[in-house]
Amino acid sequence: MSDPLENFRSEIADWIAANLPDELRGVPTTEDTICWGGRNWVFTSDAQRLWLERCAERGLTCPRWPSEYGGGGLTRGEEKALREEMTKAGAPSPLQSFGIWMLGPALLKFGTPEQKAAHLPDITAGKIRWCQGYSEPGAGSDLASVQTRAEDMGDHWLINGQKIWTSYADKADKIFALVRTDRDAPKHLGISFMLIDMQTPGVTTRPIRLISGASPFCETFFDNVKVPKEGAIVGEQNRGWDVAKYLLTHEREMIGGGGGGLTSGDTLAQMMGTLDPGTLNDPVLRAEAMELEVDAMAFALTMERYKDMSEAGQGVGHASAMLKYYGTELNKRRQEVLMSAQGSNALDWEAGSAADWLRSKANSIEGGTSEVMLDIIAKRVLELPAK
């Protein structure tokens, strides 16, 4: 075999077969089976811990990141082959985290060598769990309206303010947050992107309960929090909006792609095939399911195309708003079809899909509402004139 990519595919398939614990094979990805890592994380089993350790050692938790930071240093094609072989083997993602999806890419682009060395290896190894401190009460999707302030106290910053909708803040070790470091500067200036340890005195969190029952969201409060200056700010002081915008493109891609769940794993038809016999005999329901499958495949191909563009240095930019909008709307349609297929059985809170259906409603709010995404698409992508 002379094709380097096929050699890699064969090698990684053998590695997965030899290292994936049997009890993890084919286990559906749910909130209960995901591994988030971090100091507060309690592994659900020895197998989950072993799988994370083996993948981290091989650089597979962050396949595309440089190997010097614990990544795999894989090419785009190798990463795709890895995902396909993982799916084929029924292997779960070894680690999911906002550090991988959002902070890591921002650090790789804007971080100093010292910041990269200090944080990236802990992210790839799953030792530190990060949360995002962007949204604030009263600001909605207008992130530049942040009021949480950081005062220069000489050797440290003094932080006061409140963040809201900070996912998993009560379980995170550290937070990357937007703070206002110059209150006299124009709205999008005077903001800095700051790294804060959640164990710092003065940081408190309060979970927010949602209609779905459980909730990942929290309120986070900063009361006279002292943050040492060294290594605290990523990018230039007062130019944190540049870092924030770059990070948002990755967040929108992540949410639009359902964190990988929408475009990987079982298809809708496969999921519906596990329901009561005869479910797919309804021609209307079958047509809706197949239309959704075709749209999901088209969306997956579009995601791949934009990843290739990013690989070629063209970047995704404002097109991330399209991916976020369409991906979240697609997921909502998917949950609607599943609810229809299950009928009244869907209302069984433990066994049905009601919680997932309700949760999907938040997809078009978190990370920027669908209305904001449509506005970005109109102005920045289509360049339509203002009314």
Show the tokens assigned to 11.
Answer: 């090698």
Inter-CA distances, 4 with 11, 14, 75, 341, Å: 10, 15, 11, 44
Q: Which amino acid is at 146?
A: V
Helices 240-256 and 283-311: angle between axes, nearest 10 degrees: 150
| Annotated catalytic residue within 251, 304, 311, 383 | 251
68 noted as active-site residue: no
Q: Which 3-state string (H, E, C) describes the chain?
A: CCCHHHHHHHHHHHHHHHHCCHHHCCCCCCCCCCCCCCCCCCCCCHHHHHHHHHHHHHCCCCCCCCHHHCCCCCCHHHHHHHHHHHHHHCCCCCCCCHHHHHHHHHHHHHCCHHHHHHHHHHHHCCCCCEEEECCCCCCCCCHHHCCCEEEECCCEEEEEEEEECCCCCCCCCEEEEEEECCCCCCCCCCEEEEEEECCCCCEEEEECCCCCCCCCCEEEEEEEEEEECCCCEECCCCEHHHHHHHHHHHHHHHHHCHHHCCCCCCCHHHHHCCCCCCHHHCHHHHHHHHHHHHHHHHHHHHHHHHHHHHHCCCCCCCHHHHHHHHHHHHHHHHHHHHHHHHHHHHHCCCCCCHHHHHHHHHHHCCCCCHHHHHHHHHHHHCCCCCC
Active site residue ranges: 251
